[in-house]
Chain A
Amino acid sequence: NAGVMQNPRHLVRRRGQEARLRCSPMKGHSHVYWYRQLPEEGLKFMVYLQKENIIDESGMPKERFSAEFPKEGPSILRIQQVVRGDSAAYFCASSRGLTNEQYFGPGTRLTVT
């Protein structure tokens, strides 16, 4: 049973470009969460989604960041017009239900040059 998959594992973007991060949850999991780990900081919650719905985006920056989890395909975290401060590791987690344990993917390391 494959775990949570994220791609790409590493992404380099110049300032002003767009970054798209993909996450495929574990089989049977319909809840997806995105977290960000800035250098030398802990993991911070960004957004929680179920299929076709954003349930809680209280941790997401108001501008340039968006997330979706379409009916078909992976969840996408999109960052427009990236800045150096967006450089971080972005982790996706999934769970079977709302109160079930969250399992994390290997992360996407975004570097903005």
Chain B
Amino acid sequence: TQLLEQSPQFLSIQEGENLTVYCNSSSVFSSLQWYRQEPGEGPVLLVTVVTGGEVKKLKRLTFQFGDARKDSSLHITAAQPGDTGLYLCAGASAAGNKLTFGGGTRVLVKP
């Protein structure tokens, strides 16, 4: 069974600070996706990383996929209150037909 562990579970920071969320597994995934979920809504796709060592930037968000494709990180620079939400990582199986989700990191950015 593939498992994804996210850390920390909860993160509270002041506006302007940086933060990093980690997603770790003992299994290899064919790709890894990061989502953000607001209360009462479905997850919204932020990025997909496919290649080991890959780094993708989305404005103030930087996503990295580990060389062995077992772990990933999300770094937010100069966080804003609008970054508040539940961040989820999800690994795709080799067959590509199902996502295994981490438990999520709840981020609160205080103004």
Contact = CB atoms under 8 A, between A and B. Distances in A.
Contact of B104 (A6, A42, A91): A42
B100 interface: yes
Contacts of A56: 95, 97-98
Given A48-B98, A55-B97, A59-B98, A91 B45 contact: no
A24 to B, nearest CB: 13
Nearest to A103: B45
Contacts, number: 61
B22 interface: no
Interface footprint category on B: 20 to 34
Main secondary structure of the interface of A (DSSP, over half): strand
A105 interface: yes
B100 to A, nearest CB: 7
A107 B99 contact: no
Contact of A101 (B33, B98, B101): B33
B96 A91 contact: no
Interface string A101-113: 1111111010000
Interface in A5-59: 6, 31, 33, 35, 41-45, 48, 55-56, 58-59
Contact of B97 (A4, A98, A101, A107): A98
B4 to A, nearest CB: 9
B50 to A, nearest CB: 9
Interface string B16-60: 000000000000001101010000111111001000000000000
3 nearest CB pairs, A to B: A104-B42, A99-B96, A45-B98
9 contacts: A6-B42, A41-B103, A43-B90, A48-B97, A56-B98, A91-B43, A93-B99, A104-B44, A109-B40
